[in-house]
Amino acid sequence: MKILIVDDFSTMRRIIKNLLRDLGFNNTSEADDGNTALPMLQNGSFDFLVTDWNMPGMTGIDLLRAVRADEKLAHMPVLMVTAEQKREQIIEAAKAGVNGYIIKPFTAQTLKEKLDKIFERVG
Amino acid sequence: MTSENILSEETLLLAQSLVENIQKKDKINANLVLDRLVQNNDNLLLQEIGKLTRDLHTALNGFNLDSQLSDLAEQDFSDARERMHYVISLTDQAANTTLNAVEQAVPLCEQLHSRMLEIKASWERFLKRDMDAEEFRQFSRQLNSSLQEWEGDVVAIKQHLNEILLAQDFQDLTGQVLHRVIELVENVESSLVGMIRVAGRRKEEEGEAGAKTRSEPDIAASGPKVPGVDNWNTVSGQDEVDDLLSSMGF
């Protein structure tokens, strides 16, 4: 499984990358905002996207919308990992088609649970 | 009175005399000369002074009353201070989490190491056939219990390492808060520049720099919620996120 991790903070990308490796996902790539991530997704045969919301350039919610609007990427599972915790934002992300929403700070257990749930649904 | 009057030779001489008397601090003569200027009905100079005074007054009033500046002073500075306190508390928390994990993991490593040295010494004796049957049985039991202990120790060390890993999220969270403080500093800078411009240009641009809106757009990214500063309608934790999403059919 090939996973793209998108966050403007490299420390957070490393944290997520290490946690994913711990869960058995070794094939990960990184991008620091939506503008960098989108072409990578379009050209890179990724299976899963983990993205932050608050990023300069293209935000995570715009990346999610762009992914859903792209015929080839529309069905890719997307997990949002973000410090944004307003109800309106969570509802907006759900409407835009997010598959899981984790608020920072989070635990390794939460990440595992959300991934399990997403893969259970996606099959 | 015509404008030519003010340009007359007499006015010039009186003005020069007024300046000289003021410089000499000769109050009596200065008043006399000023009286003559006024008595001559030549009040254009006073009108100009009056106009300048009014402009200065207006500019000063504008400086004091500019809503952006008072907002910055009253609310934003206080917000920034709270945000910086929050950064201190998050970094403090992360440092302590990391130090606690290290303090718990190091003794486990030391224990592992010393048991290993014991096993190693016995193992070397065994390889040299320097061990009788009873001693070997004892060594075997020791090895068995050590292996079980090690398994638990390694799992515990891994957990502590994971705690250290997760504690590094402070960099992201504080970074987002600091970005907001930087935005505030930029606002202060542009506001002060605006103030200087207003004062310098007799408030030509008054009213142009209206108070910026303080309400947050519903879904615009705003970084971590800082307790005591941000009053957004947020969820209190991951459980509420899950409840909200499941209420939407997730």
- Stretch A37-64: mean pLDDT: 96
Helices then strands (H, E): number in chain B? Answer: 9, 0
Name residue, tokens 């809106």: B213
> pTM of this prediction?
0.69
Of the candidates B169, B219, B233, the beta carbon closest to that of A104 is on B169
Nearest to B122 by CA among B108, B111, B136: B136
pLDDT digits (tens, 9 = 90+) for A52-85: 999 999 999 999 999 999 999 999 999 999 999 9
B122 CB contacts (<8 Å, ≥6 apart)?
B131, B139, B142, B143
Across the A:B interface, residue pairs with CB atoms under 8 Å apart total: 93
What does DSSP assign to residue A51? Answer: E
What does DSSP assign to residue B220? Answer: S
Q: How many CB atoms lie within 10 A of CB A121?
A: 11
- Contact: B169, A92; criterion CB under 8 Å: no
- C-beta of residue B241 within 8 angstroms of C-beta of residue B235: yes
Q: Nearest 10 degrees: CA dihedral of B190, B194, B200, B206?
A: 180
- Contact: B172, A104; criterion CB under 8 Å: yes
A contact set with B (CB within 8 A): 7, 9, 11-12, 14-15, 18-19, 22, 53-55, 59, 61, 83-92, 94, 101-108, 110
Q: pLDDT by residue for chain B (250 residues), tens digit each?
A: 444 566 678 888 888 888 888 888 888 888 888 888 777 655 666 777 777 777 777 766 666 556 666 777 778 888 888 999 999 999 989 988 998 999 899 999 999 999 999 999 999 999 999 989 999 999 999 999 999 999 999 999 999 999 999 999 999 999 999 998 998 888 888 877 877 776 666 545 444 444 444 455 678 888 888 888 888 888 889 999 999 998 888 7
Please give, rounded to a whole number of angstroms, the shortest distance from the CA of B179 to a CA of chain A. Answer: 11
